[in-house]
Amino acid sequence: MNSQSQPSEAANSSFSMDDFAKALEQHDYQFQKGQVVRGKVFQYESDGAYVDIGGKSAAFVPLMEASLKSVTDLSVVLPLQEELDFLIIRDQDAEGQVTLSRRQLEIQQIWENLAEMQENSQTLQVRVTGVNKGGVTVDVQGVRGFIPRSHLVERDDLESLKGQTLAASFLEVDRSNNKLVLSNRLATRSSNFSQLELGQLVEGKVTGSKPFGVFVDLDGVSGLLHIKQVSQNFIESLPSLFQVGQTLKAVIIDLDEGKGRISLSTRVLENYPGEMIENMEEVMANAEARASRAKQKVSE
């Protein structure tokens, strides 16, 4: 019984091995979708190029996948016999041919760069390509990004931003959902903060007042002149001293970029207690010399 079954097992076994070998000949299983491979272009066609990636069959790059930029001449972006990296975007067909892309590999690398830039809190320049109700769309190194209206410095006339280049920092970088959200306001604030230092005399415009202090716009960032820092004398009412739109000079006494906080003082510019209340014009006219003197006192 056993001796009779052995030949049939062997026959079955040899048949399945042959079958497996034939399958291997038809398909090169080392190449799979999502894999990055190196290869050389060896032939151009009107709709793309053939690439030798060392497989049983040549791989193919469709014209639309040759580059992130629009291509009119394949030889510019895919020179013959030059080793390049490609991303496999379609598994092998019946002939064992895989489809490749340089464009999607470039996009993948851009997303990786953007994620790294976000980690390092870097800012970058982006070009405004479109406007909608919620904000503006921007081109970020070939990838489409979005800046919400609340994160724009110019929020009223969005149409005027079309074609402009803006500074931007990252709010969200999500490759899996193709979501890239940026902030022009935070990037501008960060840039302005880098130009500020303690003890510096700054000039800005009063944008509003609260019972506790006055807000001053300093080129896109907001500073606070606390009521206790206006004068060495007690002040009953800030609106009686300051008007919205008024130009004001003050000294920076505290900086916190993380919280976006700039604390200002005019009391350090006074020659005597209450001078800001009695003769603000005089204090403002000689603010530079007074600030220099105040700085020397601090450093002594």
| pLDDT tens figures, 14-61 | 556 666 555 555 555 578 899 999 999 999 999 999 999 987 778 999
Other C-beta atoms closer than 10 Å to the C-beta of 135 total 22
The amino acid occupying position 45 is E
Q: For the chain, give the mean pLDDT.
A: 86
Cα angle value 113/116/118 (rounded, 5°): 110
**Residue 246: pLDDT over 90:** yes
| Among 84, 3, 100, 73, CA closest to 40 | 84
pLDDT of residue 251: 94
pLDDT, tens digit, 9 for 90 and up, residues 157-188: 899 999 999 999 999 999 889 999 999 988 88
277-286 contacts, C-beta under 8 A, 24 or more apart: 277/231, 277/233, 277/235, 277/241, 280/241, 284/247, 284/248, 284/249
Percentage of residues in the chain having pLDDT higher than 70: 88
Q: Which of 293 and 248 is assigned the larger pLDDT?
A: 248
**Residue 293: pLDDT over 60:** yes
> What's the CA gap between 98 and 254, in Å, rounded?
61
For the chain, domains (ranges, CATH) are: 36-101 (2.40.50.140), 121-189 (2.40.50.140), 197-299 (2.40.50.140)
Residue with tokens 């976000």: 118
pLDDT, tens digit, 9 for 90 and up, residues 267-288: 999 999 999 999 999 999 999 9
Percentage of residues in the chain having pLDDT higher than 90: 61
pLDDT of residue 3: 45
